[in-house]
Amino acid sequence: MEIGKQLTPELIAKLGRLELRARTVVEGFLSGLHRSSYKGFSVEFAEHRPYFPGDDVRHIDWKAYAKSDRLYVKEFEEETNLRCYLLIDASASMGYGTTGMSKYECASVVAAAIAYLALQQRDSVGLVVFNESVLHYIPPRMHPSHFTSIIEALESTKASGGTNAGNVVRELGERLKRRGLVVFLSDLIGSDDSFRKALCFLRHRKHEVMVFHMLDPAEIDFTFEEPSVFWDLEERRALQTDPIALRSSYRQEVAKFISGCKEMCYSSHIDYVLLRTDEPFDTSLMTYLSWRSKQKHKLHATPQC
């Protein structure tokens, strides 16, 4: 299956405005999905679910049964509508990019695409953009015009400053009153034990959490050839080195970093997805839709953090 073959960051970057990028990603993804043989979930807003013994028979949709020869139960709005909270890291390190788009720009496209898709499914979506502090907070809403507010917040932000993800995530967790899905998009650089504890706090509050780990291919592969000066974008420190001599040990450290991030998430029953900024955007949408399909009626066990 080649869903999203044309949804590479390099091509999407040429489209200009974020709203157009997001719509193109979603529509291209759905078009590819419909042409494929993948039947793992429905991308339409689900007003029915399969009948299970014990369900109130008064809620069986007999018209649906006549069409499909299967029993389905009508769902009420509070059962089908979900809340999705998008958390976007806008610290200086997210401004790095070698693919035509920075990590922050790629994260913005992913966030906007998920928001667009969620609103099409009549889910409510909220947004938090942060570095050391919260830069934008948009409460969850379901109205289609809400998409414009999300786009404006993402487009008006430039990646800068340090990060304080632990405090921001903890603060959000204390605000959230209704169980939902928290989608976190970050390069996870500078994440510490306070961040891990904040993620655990969200899980203890019965929220589902999905982490998209945004990394540029140059950060992973370190294919630089010439002696270079490398800058720490958040602490403004410089290091002059020969990348060829450093490459092997650097790649080992990056592999350990990624492995540590995975373990931090998996140990807390948190979905983790590594998103290279040179790969098509369909991975993020497939992950989101798979979660929505599989987890909508499922409660995870609370992790031991």
List the 134-141 sheet strands across, edge first: 134-141, 124-130, 83-89, 181-186, 208-215, 271-276
Q: What is the pTM of this model?
A: 0.76
Domains along the chain with CATH numbers: 9-37+81-295 (3.40.50.410), 48-77 (no CATH)
Compute the Cα dihedral for 68, 71, 77, 83 and give only its sign. Answer: negative
Which residue type sits at 98? T
Please write the tens of the pLDDT for every residue from 198-241. Answer: 999 999 888 889 999 999 999 999 888 777 777 666 666 777 77
Q: Which of 213, 181, 15, 25 is nearest to 107 (CA)?
A: 213
Q: Which pLDDT belongs to residue 284?
A: 74
Tens digit of each residue's pLDDT, the chain (305 residues): 343 444 566 666 666 678 777 777 777 766 665 444 443 333 343 456 677 776 666 677 777 777 777 777 765 544 456 789 999 999 999 999 998 889 999 999 999 988 988 888 788 999 999 999 999 999 999 887 899 999 999 999 999 999 999 999 998 888 887 888 899 999 999 888 889 999 999 998 888 899 999 999 999 998 887 777 776 666 667 777 777 888 898 899 999 999 999 999 999 889 899 999 988 887 777 777 776 666 554 444 455 56
Please write the tens of the pLDDT for every residue from 156-183. Answer: 999 999 999 999 999 888 888 788 889 9
DSSP per residue over 76-136, as a string? Answer: -HHHH--EEEEEEE-SGGGG--SSSS-HHHHHHHHHHHHHHHHHHTT-EEEEEEESSSEEE
In a 3-state reduction of DSSP, which class is residue 229?
Answer: strand
